[in-house]
Amino acid sequence: MFTTASLFVLGTMALALLRAVRGPSVYDRIVAVNLFGTLTVVLLVLLGFLTDRPEFEDIALLYVLINFASTIAVLKFVKYSSLAGPRSDRSDAAGSEGKV
Amino acid sequence: MALVLDILSWAFIIGGGVFSLLSGIGVVRFPDVFTRMHAASLADTLGAGLIILGLLLQAGIGADLVGVKLILILVFLLFTSPVVTHALAQAALLDGERPWTRDGGPTEGTVDVRESEGDAFLVDARAPDGER
């Protein structure tokens, strides 16, 4: 059962990698890498059950959070060309967010 | 009882695997970023969700709090994946990616970033020096 599911997940990871290599825009690549990270979490959990070692769940739990933070960080870097956020000294941006 | 649980978790795990495979196929074959995002979120919710639910049926709460950790993983996935998808869609839209339509026309209610020069938020979100 766990082996079958792992094979499904591995196949999906290969497809995500294919999109990450081929993706025309950088956002395609970020989507693919995020999907790859999610599937890595699932694969880690399955691996914990396959090898009967519950420590893998801790690694998966950590990897969920790392995956989230890294995707947001890469996204910010692509969007603003820096990790610090938008370069601006304006203070009126907060009020106009509802328009988007 | 154990047999019923086994059959249920089989169904959940195989269902989750099939859903994640479908999501991978969608990510490869769909035409633009937004539709690919839609396909990728299938693996985040149904794929990972069903697999982890199936494993939860196998493990129970278990020794070493395996079940609790599985629930935590599921909760974190369900919280983080919509945030990432939303941020990604907004970034792609602000960067000028247009959603794919069958006839190539604009979608209903499209915000045209290039023409809304007065909008403070849109202007701010693009690179202010025009370096891209």
**Per the domain annotation, does A19 fall within a domain?**
yes
Q: Which residues of A touch B59 (CB under 8 A)?
A: 49
Report which residue type is found at B53.
Answer: L
Q: Which residue of A has its CA nearest to B128?
A: A87
Specify the number of domains making up chain A. 1
Spatial separation of the C-alpha atoms in residues A8 and A21, rounded to whole Å:
20
Pairwise CB contact (< 8 Å): B24 & A16 = yes
Question: Which residues 87-106 of B have a C-beta within 8 angstroms of A?
Answer: 87-88, 90-92, 94-95, 97
ipTM above 0.95, yes or no: no
Buried b (16+ CB within 10 A) or exposed e, B9-32: bbebbbbbbebbbbbbebbbebeb
Quick check: is A32 in a domain?
yes
User: Measured in whole angstroms, how far is the alpha carbon of residue A43 from the centre of its chain?
Assistant: 14
Which tops the pLDDT comparison, A7 or B117? Answer: A7
Counting Cβ atoms within 10 Å, is residue B81 exposed (0-12), middle (13-18) or buried (19+)? buried
pLDDT of A79 above 50: yes
Q: Tell me, yes or no, whether A53 lies in a domain.
A: yes
> Are B28 and A15 within 8 A, CB to CB?
yes
Q: What percent of chain B has pLDDT over 90?
A: 33
Whether B44 and B73 have beta carbons less than 8 Å apart is answered as no
A98 belongs to a structural domain: no
Nearest CA in chain A to B29: A19
Sign of CA dihedral A72, B20, A43, B79: positive
Residue A8 is predicted with a pLDDT of: 92
Contact A100 B122 (CB under 8 A): yes
Query: What is the average per-residue pLDDT within B5-10?
Result: 89
Task: Indicate whether A13 pLDDT > 80.
Answer: yes
Look at residue A40 and tell me whether its pLDDT is greater than 90: yes
Task: Assess if residue A91 is contained within a domain.
Answer: no
**Contact residues, chain A, for B111 at CB < 8 Å:** 100
For residue B122, what are the contacts with CB-CB under 8 A and spacing of at least 6? A99, A100, B94, B111, B113, B116
Q: Is residue A93 part of a domain?
A: no
Residue B96 scores a pLDDT above 50: yes
pLDDT above 70 as % of chain B: 78
DSSP chain B: -HHHHHHHHHHHHHHHHHHHHHHHHHHHHSSSHHHHHHHHHHIIIIIHHHHHHHHHHHH-S-GGGHHHHHHHHHHHHHHHHHHHHHHHHHHHHHTTPPPP-TTSPPPTT---TTT-TT-HHHHHHS-TT---
Q: Of A29-33, A56-60, A85-89, B70-74, which gets the smallest average pLDDT?
A: A85-89
- pLDDT mean over A74-82: 78
Contacts of B13 (CB under 8 A, 6+ apart): A1, A2, A4, A5, B50, B51, B54, B55
Reference A18, options A2, A39, A33, A3; nearest CA is A33
Q: Report residue B1 as tokens.
A: 């009882």
Quote the DSSP letter at residue A9: H
pLDDT of residue B97: 76
Q: Does residue A22 sit within a domain? A: yes
Which among B114, B39, B33 is positioned nearest to A78, based on CA atoms?
A: B33
- The predicted model scores a pTM of 0.80
Predicted confidence at residue B119, as pLDDT, reads: 54
Asked if residue A56 belongs to a domain, the reply is yes
Minimal Cβ distance to A42: which of B10, B51, B84: B51
What residues make up the domain containing A37? 2-84
